[in-house]
Amino acid sequence: MATTWTGGEEHWTHKGDVKLFLWHRKAAANVPFAGTLLFVHGSSMASQPTFDLTVPGRPDSSAMQWFAERGFDTWTVDHEGYGRSSKHREINCDISNGADDLKAATDYIHSLKGPVKFDVYGISSGALRAAMFAERHPERVNKLALDAFVWTGEGSHTLENRRKKLPEFLAKNRRPIDRAFVQSIFDRDHPDTADQATIEAFAQAILTLDSSMPTGTYVDMCSRLPVVNPEKINVPTLILRGEFDGIASFEDLIAFYGKLPHANKQFSVMKGISHASFQQKNYKMVYHLLHSYLTMPEPVYVG
């Protein structure tokens, strides 16, 4: 049965001749407004399956809804080549192209809401897109959250295995996906961190929209890292790292964290979590860490 989404608003904008799909859940009216939160998806799934997933018997599966209920105006966008957005260009939709999508999406939201600053959460290659966007447009970012992030790739067993297929990724702009591939996202690092019903719902939602994905982020992560410079990301930043996540070593992330210039920064390790944190059994921990950082009071004394 196809997955359907209700309770939000669809929006469309353009990046040249590319149509980009945006999904919006309004901040709840009965709580204080908390900010504008933009969610950025990863390499192998579109936006709604990642951030607005409904799973029967699993309360608060939709991160967008959970944060909207706490006062955040929540947005997400299908990057070019994913979901409902355009797929007609003969390109592999790399990380830089994804950062361009975020510029177009925030341009559009500004046209509706005025010049708001965004809290930006990105996961996996979405974290790289979000970091590149913050590097290029720090004036648009209030706080940045990077989940399942990788900097140089040194010590990453996931990328070591993925590099074996690099010639295949370089040879074409898209790669096929199926239910077994989605399952592998949860099995590759540490089995049993996500329940099977959630994995099945996630896979169904992904495959309702796509049967293949662009290769660009895989090419970048396998052969072109680093693609962002931490010394140029001068915004408050939270780094979230699943205990079992194989996409980046602790050493790689700590080195990146140490070079971030903004004093308002945090590094959190999430126990019992592998890679796709919002679909894990411990997803409420992720919500708590992100919400706590985004709602932390501003410092009174800054030196």
Look up the domain containing 35 and give its range.
Answer: 9-294
* pLDDT score recorded for residue 1: 38
* pLDDT score recorded for residue 135: 98
Residue 129 belongs to some domain of the structure: yes
DSSP state of 55: B
Q: What is the CATH number of the domain that holds 184?
A: 3.40.50.1820
Quote the CA–CA distance of 79 and 188 in Å, as a whole number.
Answer: 25
Residue 301 belongs to some domain of the structure: no
Residue 303 belongs to some domain of the structure: no
SS3 state of residue 240? strand
Contact in structure between 276 and 182 (CB atoms under 8 Å)? no
| Closest by CA position to 254, among listed 242, 264, 244, 267 | 267
3-state secondary structure 2-26: CCCCCCCEEEEEEECCEEEEEEEEC
Residue 266 belongs to some domain of the structure: yes
Q: How many domains does the chain have?
A: 1
SS3 state of residue 175? strand
H helices of the chain, in order, are 47-51, 63-68, 95-113, 125-136, 157-162, 166-171, 179-187, 196-209, 216-223, 250-259, 283-294
| Closest by CA position to 24, among listed 78, 100, 76, 87 | 76
Contact in structure between 219 and 170 (CB atoms under 8 Å)? yes
Residue 1 belongs to some domain of the structure: no
Residue 148 belongs to some domain of the structure: yes
Quote the CA–CA distance of 71 and 46 in Å, as a whole number.
Answer: 24
Residue 196 belongs to some domain of the structure: yes
Contact in structure between 154 and 249 (CB atoms under 8 Å)? yes
Q: Look up the pTM and report it.
A: 0.97
Q: What are the pLDDT tens digits along the chain (303 aa)?
A: 345 677 899 999 999 999 999 999 999 999 999 999 999 999 999 999 999 999 999 999 999 999 999 999 999 999 999 999 999 999 999 999 999 999 999 999 999 999 999 999 999 999 999 999 999 999 999 999 999 999 999 999 999 999 999 999 999 999 999 999 999 999 999 999 999 999 999 999 999 999 999 999 999 999 999 999 999 999 999 999 999 999 999 999 999 999 999 999 999 999 999 999 999 999 999 999 999 999 999 999 988
Residue 124 belongs to some domain of the structure: yes
**Number of alpha carbons in the 13 Å side-chain half-sphere of residue 273:** 23
